[in-house]
Every structure is written in structure tokens, then in C-alpha cells.
Amino acid sequence: METGNRPIGIFDSGVGGLTVAHAIRQTLPGEQIIYFGDTAHLPYGDKSEEAIRGYSKRIAEFLLGYDAKVVLIACNSASASAYENLLAEYSNKALILDVINPVVEYVAARHFERLGVIGTKRTISSGTYEKKLHEAAPGTVLSSLATPLLVPMIEEGFIFDDISNAIIRTYLSDTRLQKINALILGCTHYPIIRNQISKFFNFNVEVIDSARIVAARLRETLERHNMVNRGEAGEDLFFISDYTEYFEKIARMFFESSINLQKADIWS
């Protein structure tokens, strides 16, 4: 595997993974990012495992076409469905990272007694967090809850208002989430409502968002493989598979600065 100034490839079902891209931009300012949001197939949370595997494979090839040194799956639904497949197929070409393993390792090291995780239907029904946490921290009790309305709610800009407060309250009042010490945000859209969630729990529950944990893991991994870019970084590129001005507008909210989205029609 070549080192040097190859870019970091990141993908998600849409623009939610830009929360992870933003954390990486801050943690690794000297790296070039190539981002792909599969807006033509959004949301992944309702798709089958088989469909998500097919999308993820094609997107990984698109990113490898830019000679990405890393393919980072910045989507929990795709991490739960396709990480092992991408690892088996492409780890001779690039480092393959997901958003679930780093978070599981992080919480395992913190020895929480009772944890909750919220995510899309695909992520929760896959049981990936349970399986991995059971291996890494067998004593931890994990309660999982699918919260499928949160992605469309965030994408429609319902944040810090009555509608979002009502939806968040309805989901998080679930008895399964009582008495938890920490809550994993198992979806890369959710950091946008992290403060609202913390407020619901009166700031008594630690709310764990994967973006910073994943960015820190990526830095460690690049350092370990001696793959940090020491030269000039190319310009970041942001692709989506279906373009609307609306995506451009909400992408700013996720990346916390203005970005230029280009359409890459990899499905025709």
C-alpha cells in the first residue's frame, strides 16, 4: 500500500456523514477528503442488508478510483451491513474503517454499567452494537432502540423546536432507556441534535457521538501505518449521487461551513 498524499475517502447514505468529515477536517487538517453521499438511495436505514452491501461496494470503488488511502464508512447502517465485505475485498488497496468499531472500543474502555444505543432500523435490527459490545465488554448491559423518524426530521431542519422536542421525548421516554449511564448516537445524523438529547436527559446521561471518536481513531491509524500526509494536500471534493439545492443547503449545517457539492452519477 502506497503512502504519501493520497486522499481520505468517506461515504454515507447522504449528507449525515459530513458530521464525521467535519471532525476529520478538524483533527487532520493536512489531509485531502473525498466525500461521497449516496443521496439517490437515501435513507439506507430502511434498505436491506444486501442492497446496502451492493451500494457500499460500488461507492468504495468510486473512492478507490481517486486512489483513496482510506475508505471510511461514515454511516452506521452501512457499517453494520457492509464493513466485513469491504474489508475482505479492498483491504489490500486501502485502510477500511467504519464508525461502529471505534465507538464500541471507546465505550468498552469506559466500563459503563448500562448503555443505550439509538439508530436506524437497519443498524438496530442488525444487532451489531450488541454483538461487538458483548465481545469487548461482556458485563455491560446495552438497550437498543430504533429511532427512524430522527433522520427525516433532521434532514427537514426540525431542530430545537416543538416538533423535534416531541419526537425526541417520545422516543427517549422508552422504558428501555431508563437508568442508562450513557447513550450512543448510532447514526451519523444525530450529532446535529446531540444537545437536544443531552437536555432531554437533564445532562445526566453521557451522550456519545461517533464523529470525534472516529476522527481520533483515523489519526491513530494513519500514524501507526505511517500514512499521514506530510506534503501538500489536494482540494477536498464532495460528491452526491443525486443533486438538489436542498442537499447543498443542509450540507452546510452538517459540515459547519459552505461546501460545493458535485453530482457523481455512479448508478447509471
Task: Find out whether 188 and 15 touch, Cβ atoms under 8 Å.
Answer: no
Shortest gap between Cβ of 28 and ligand DGL (angstroms)?
21
Shortest gap between Cβ of 190 and ligand DGL (angstroms)?
8
Grid coordinates standing for 261? 457539492
In angstroms, the CA 183 to CA 57 distance is 30
Residue 8 or residue 82: which is nearer to ligand DGL going by CB?
82
Residue from 7, 8, 9, 12 binding ligand DGL (CB under 6 A)? 12
**Nearest of 6, 4, 21 to residue 259 by alpha carbon:** 21
In angstroms, the CA 116 to CA 78 distance is 20
Using the rule CB under 6 A, is 44 a contact of ligand DGL?
yes
Residues 153-212 that bind ligand DGL (CB under 6 A): 187-189
Q: What is the three-class DSSP state of 120?
A: coil
Using the rule CB under 6 A, is 16 a contact of ligand DGL?
yes
Q: What is the three-class DSSP state of 267?
A: coil
Shortest gap between Cβ of 196 and ligand DGL (angstroms)?
17
In angstroms, the CA 233 to CA 186 distance is 31
Task: Find out whether 26 and 219 touch, Cβ atoms under 8 Å.
Answer: no
How many chain residues interact with ligand DGL (CB under 6 A)?
Answer: 17
CA distances from 216 to 19, 61, 220 (A): 14, 25, 6
In angstroms, the CA 211 to CA 188 distance is 7
Residue 25 or residue 47: which is nearer to ligand DGL going by CB?
47
Shortest gap between Cβ of 132 and ligand DGL (angstroms)?
15
- Looking at 72-80, 131-139, 165-173, 196-204, which segment touches ligand DGL (CB under 6 A)? 72-80
Residue 120 or residue 229: which is nearer to ligand DGL going by CB?
120
Residue 76 or residue 229: which is nearer to ligand DGL going by CB?
76
Rg (CA), the chain: 18
Shortest gap between Cβ of 107 and ligand DGL (angstroms)?
17
Beta strands in 121-245 (DSSP E): 141-146, 182-186, 206-209, 237-240
Using the rule CB under 6 A, is 118 a contact of ligand DGL?
no
Using the rule CB under 6 A, is 56 a contact of ligand DGL?
no
Grid coordinates standing for 239? 460528491
In angstroms, the CA 90 to CA 229 distance is 21
Shortest gap between Cβ of 50 and ligand DGL (angstroms)?
16
Where on the phi/psi map is residue 96: left (φ > 0), alpha (ψ -120 to 50), or beta? beta
Catalytic annotation, residues: 75, 187
Residue from 45, 102, 116, 191 binding ligand DGL (CB under 6 A)? 45
Contact string (CB under 6 A) for ligand DGL, positions 121-140, x = contact: --x-----------------
Using the rule CB under 6 A, is 151 a contact of ligand DGL?
yes
Q: Which parts of this chain interact with ligand DGL (CB under 6 A)?
A: 12-14, 16, 42-45, 75-77, 120, 123, 151, 187-189
